[in-house]
Amino acid sequence: MVDGTNVSGQLDPNDLDRLSDRERQVLSLASAGLVDKQIAAELDITLNTLRTYWSRIRAKIGEVPRSALSALFAERRAARADRGLLGASWHIDLERRVFCYYGDRDIPTGEIGLEAMFDQFHPEDEPRVRLLLVTIEEHVLPPFMFMARYRTEHGTELASAYVEVERDEAGRAVRIVGRAAPIINLASSGPAASVGTYERDLGTNRIEVDDGFCAIFRVDPNAPDLLEQIINRNCPEYRAVFRTTVGDMIAEGRSKLTHAFRLCFDDGTRLWVSSHLTLEYEAERPVRVRSTIMAYE
């Protein structure tokens, strides 16, 4: 360290504490998978201003690749989040199709089958939980927070968990691990997360969406202008970024991207959405983009 500047090129997690709030925001968005255009739009700054922030970050942390900076920040954030989680732990063994709870909440401990697990959820949330398991087995998701209501002898409660998916060498999801966050007592209604999937053929521009996606975006899957409907569901400040996201991924050589944006509807409703994109290649050419959408009301 010379005059407060890291000149060794070695990453030191403690250097993150030297960043300003704005510099931490930049790293936070980058670690979530946003590209520079999206970061600038999210922070409402120009690309030149963003480049200045990147220069300041590297001056404090070191001249290391952006991917390493983002990974370091994500690891620090995940470690702090993990220390802050309260309550019980559980896992789902996808090969044996069993749910195992080993905590102290008002949930039976030990192993039960997945159908018995589904039966414990509120009737309105059970389909979302089933869809989430299918999505996890068919798509690669980063760690995420998930909320769902479940039934106990004392009434309906809301469970919130930090969820991670473990995969084998072939990339198959084999185990879902959850660390429970605080549980809040609720009436029969409450906040809920929704999940949907989207697929677009880059050659034909043909789009396929599931019922969950249609419910989130409020679109007709058979509409001839479906892509424009989807784009126009974005709030105005996100539409240009949404149009260029796939092109930016191709230009930057990225195959995966996680980003957040906001939807706006005619009735005044606004909804934050997280998208986990995968760009598929054949013969080194991009041919298809798949996305898993998660939205919280």
CATH number of the domain where residue 64 is located = 1.10.10.10
Q: Left (φ > 0), alpha (ψ -120 to 50) or beta: where does 218 sit?
A: left
Check whether residue 68 and residue 97 sit in a common domain. Answer: no
Check whether residue 133 and residue 56 sit in a common domain. Answer: no
Query: Which pair of tokens denotes residue 245?
Result: 């996201």
* CATH number, residue 156: 3.30.450.20
Tell me how far CA of residue 138 lies from CA of 34, 282, 294, in angstroms: 23, 19, 15
The last residue of a domain, from among 162, 185, 208: 185
3-class SS of residue 142: coil
Mean confidence (pLDDT) of the chain: 76
Q: Side by side, which strands form the sheet with 207-209? A: 207-209, 193-201, 285-296, 270-282, 256-264
pLDDT digits (tens, 9 = 90+) for 162-211: 777 888 877 788 888 887 654 434 343 344 557 889 999 998 989 999 99
Number of domains in the chain: 3
Check whether residue 78 and residue 94 sit in a common domain. Answer: no
Mean pLDDT confidence for 90-94: 87
Check whether residue 174 and residue 240 sit in a common domain. Answer: no
Does 8 fall in a domain? no
Does 246 fall in a domain? yes
Mean pLDDT confidence for 90-103: 85
Does 116 fall in a domain? yes
Please give the residue range of the domain that contains residue 203: 193-296
Does 68 fall in a domain? yes
Check whether residue 180 and residue 214 sit in a common domain. Answer: no
Does 93 fall in a domain? yes
Check whether residue 265 and residue 229 sit in a common domain. Answer: yes
Does 1 fall in a domain? no
pLDDT digits (tens, 9 = 90+) for 271-285: 878 787 888 888 888
The last residue of a domain, from among 84, 116, 141: 84
Does 34 fall in a domain? yes
The last residue of a domain, from among 84, 106, 129: 84
pLDDT digits (tens, 9 = 90+) for 210-266: 998 999 999 999 998 999 999 999 988 778 878 888 888 887 777 877 777 789 999
Check whether residue 290 and residue 197 sit in a common domain. Answer: yes
